[in-house]
Structure 1
Amino acid sequence: MISVCIATYNGEKYLEEQLVSILPQIGPSDELIISDDGSVDETLNIIKNYQEQDQRIKFFKGPGKGVIANFEFAIKQSQGEFVFLADQDDVWLPEKVQIIIAFFQKHPKIDLVISDLVIVNESLDVIEASYFDYRNVKLGFIHNIVKNKYIGAGMAFRGTLKKEILPIPNNVPMHDMWIGLIAASKNKSAMIPQKLTLYRRHASNASEIDTGASRYQQLKWRMALIIALIGRKILKVK
């Protein structure tokens, strides 16, 4: 069983296009979990219309505490052997689920993957042909604690990882960084070179490709991450 988790908030402009790209790729026993954080536009009506036609869509009222808590809540509801994260404004390419599940089956010791993405604008025109190349994406705990490259829009993980992911600390910079570092600390993350997502950038994105935070704020985030990982006993202190 596959669980796809979407955290929505005022996503009326692009959400339907994302749903149309995801639903044909999942099977009749899979689930698409949508947690909404208090949308006041047409997002809820779009979700309701699709939910009436497709019982695989499971809608939840989110906690109303921002994108990290909203994704955490969606992940908590997931029941799948494999969990995919999806942004409300992207587009999945048709072979995404098939390629990622095949990779997991071929590599049973890998708990988390990130696949490459094409960075596009509002109209899906290409800005950068490869997120991996643009961001110089590399695996490994040290590399990503210094400068995170784990991206939720290209992320999928085994459901067994949830027991270590949850709860997500409230002082980490983003949910995808926390999840990626947990897998990286155990050397159980991998990269898939195929470009499987159109990663849309526009004025209302909830996340940034390159953070605008100060060096001091970035240092505070990383210290908080390390302390949280030690507290979760992901990192061992001798």
Structure 2
Amino acid sequence: MNKQSKTRISVCMATYNGRHFIEEQLNSILPQLSEYDELIISDDHSTDGTWEFLLDLKTKDPRIKLFQNKNQGVIANFANAIEQSTQPIIFLSDQDDVWQPDKIEKILPYFENPQTQVVVSDLVIVDNDFAILEPSYQAMRHTQAGFWHNLVKSSYIGAGMAFRATLKDIVLPIPATVPMHDMWIGLLADYNRGVVFIPDRLVYYRRHGLNASEIKTTASRVQQFKWRWNALQLVRKRIKEVKKK
């Protein structure tokens, strides 16, 4: 429980038409937060009652802070949530997963190392009814640390990711042309060897056909190469921009 920790955190969640799933996820997150932590939710103009549900929940829990995105998709939605966060450690959260009850407690100690910028936990991939599809995301993806390995085959998965808020200065704004927000955050941090992958399986990562992201891309090899080349150029450009400041 983060109630015993002095480190304050922001959980940043992006929502879009997640009313069927979100309650289970919130019930797994909120008990882990102290009264000083915050749950930042950016909603991309849901039409299924998600926003109305969140508005009602906010009246009962002041740790919940709600923002609306401009219906610009998942990357911009997460960027909006991250931008609104105020605490020193940021946890990313999908709307439809379920956290293990000790997720925050297990991850925070890794940030005691000042070199660590991003921590990525393992996940258990499950279906809509929580039947296990893959017991380990990291085993499935053959996860390895390192910038170049993850540029070719990214294991920076947002559902298991936490990072220092100081990264916001380099992460934001997130280019619209990067493959995904989590890959962008991971590559920028790993440029200076600041990413730690941990084997703890701290999230039930639910796949149900309505997810906003894919585990395995269906894009062609040519398209994948173009994405990665573009990501590399964007990372190098952002690093140069930050160094000039």
For normalisation by structure 1, the TM-score amounts to 0.96
Contact 1:9 1:43 (C-alpha < 8 Å) held by counterparts: yes
AA at the equivalent of 2:69: G
AA at the equivalent of 1:34: I
2:105 is aligned with 1:117: no
Matches of 1:90 and 1:234 in 2, distance apart?
36
Corresponding residue for 1:86? 93
AA at the equivalent of 1:118: V
The 3 A distance-change label for structure 1 pair 234 and 151 is farther
AA at the equivalent of 1:127: L
Corresponding residue for 2:133? 127
Corresponding residue for 2:160? 154
Moved more, 41-50 or 182-191: 41-50
Corresponding residue for 2:5? none
- After superposition, the C-alpha distances for 1:13-52 in whole angstroms (9 at most, x for unaligned) are 1001000100000110110000000100010122112111
- After superposition, the C-alpha distances for 1:179-236 in whole angstroms (9 at most, x for unaligned) are 011111110100111111000011101111110111121111112111111211269x
Matches of 1:62 and 1:69 in 2, distance apart?
8
Contact 2:170 2:239 (C-alpha < 8 Å) held by counterparts: no
Identity of aligned residues (%): 53
Displaced runs of 4+ in structure 1, greater than 3 A?
none
AA at the equivalent of 1:87: D
Corresponding residue for 2:222? 216
Contact 1:63 1:73 (C-alpha < 8 Å) held by counterparts: no
Give the count of matched residue pairs. 235
Unaligned stretches of 5+ in structure 2? 1-7
AA at the equivalent of 1:33: I
Contact 2:120 2:196 (C-alpha < 8 Å) held by counterparts: yes
Partner of 1:49: helix, strand, or coil?
A: helix
Unaligned stretches of 5+ in structure 1? none
Residue of structure 2 aligned with 1:77, choices 67, 80, 84: 84
- After superposition, the C-alpha distances for 1:54-108 in whole angstroms (9 at most, x for unaligned) are 0000000112110000000110001111000000000000000011112212x22
Residue of structure 1 aligned with 2:103, choices 96, 119, 124: 96
Corresponding residue for 1:59? 66
For normalisation by structure 2, the TM-score amounts to 0.93
Residue of structure 2 aligned with 1:170, choices 172, 176, 186: 176
AA at the equivalent of 1:57: I
AA at the equivalent of 1:184: D
Matches of 2:66 and 2:179 in 1, distance apart?
26
RMSD: 1.3
Matches of 2:176 and 2:134 in 1, distance apart?
32
Contact 1:15 1:88 (C-alpha < 8 Å) held by counterparts: yes
